[in-house]
């Protein structure tokens, strides 16, 4: 009986250590992603701020204006996301980590669909600009910006999904452990190979 208890304690400590390391790696991925998104936003602020002040064409001004507005949102998402990942948050259980992993992957996939919508809206704005009497330049400039920003976000969100999905697939602990709910709580199974 002592050997069984020792083996169970050893396995639970091993699993806890693996989940803890997995969470650290998960947070590092998010930290790097949010640093990239924030850097992109700041670069847009600088380039489009300069472009706005130097532009003589109204459509160009609207393009730069929308880039700054769009990246205000990007930066306001990147900064708290970066800080959350950097601080690590509370230590998650295996069940919580699996749920967080699935939620994160789903968010990036949903964002990909939204990104396609942004690109489509930008294309529509450009194509309908001629019919927007008095707002042609606004539609051209904003449309071009939506295509640019949507395209960047499509690439970013796809890359983020692939990073997280690959991280989950490489994880020994997530591959070997499955869980299910029971009337008494959560039941875990671990493949011992």
- In the three-class reduction of DSSP (H, G, I as helix; E, B as strand; rest coil), residue 180 is classed as strand
Does the pTM surpass 0.85? The reply is no
Every domain of the chain and the residues it spans: 20-190
- For residues 10, 13, 15, 19, the Cα torsion angle rounded to the nearest 10 degrees is -170
pLDDT in tens, the chain (193 residues): 444 443 444 444 455 567 888 889 999 999 999 999 999 999 999 999 999 999 999 999 999 999 999 999 999 999 999 999 999 888 888 888 888 999 999 999 999 999 999 999 999 999 998 998 989 999 999 999 999 999 999 999 999 999 999 988 887 555 555 556 667 665 555 554 5
CA distance 37 to 73: 11
């Amino acid at each position: 009986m002592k050997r069984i208890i020792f083996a169970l304690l050893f396995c639970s400590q091993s699993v806890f250590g693996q989940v803890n390391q997995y969470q650290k790696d998960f947070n590092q991925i998010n930290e790097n992603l949010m640093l990239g998104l924030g850097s992109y936003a700041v670069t847009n602020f600088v380039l489009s701020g300069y472009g706005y002040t130097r532009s003589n064409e109204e459509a160009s001004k609207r393009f730069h204006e929308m880039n700054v507005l769009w990246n205000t949102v990007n930066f306001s998402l990147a900064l708290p996301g970066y800080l959350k990942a950097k601080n690590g948050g509370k230590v998650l259980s295996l069940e919580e980590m699996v749920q967080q992993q699935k939620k994160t992957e789903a968010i990036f996939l949903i964002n990909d669909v939204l990104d396609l919508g942004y690109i489509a809206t930008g294309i529509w704005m450009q194509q309908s600009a001629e019919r927007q009497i008095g707002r042609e330049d606004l539609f051209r400039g904003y449309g071009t910006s939506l295509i640019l920003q949507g395209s960047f976000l499509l690439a970013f969100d796809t890359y983020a999904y692939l990073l997280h999905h690959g991280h989950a697939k490489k994880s020994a602990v997530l591959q070997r452990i499955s869980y299910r709910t029971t009337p008494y709580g959560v039941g875990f199974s671990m493949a011992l190979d």
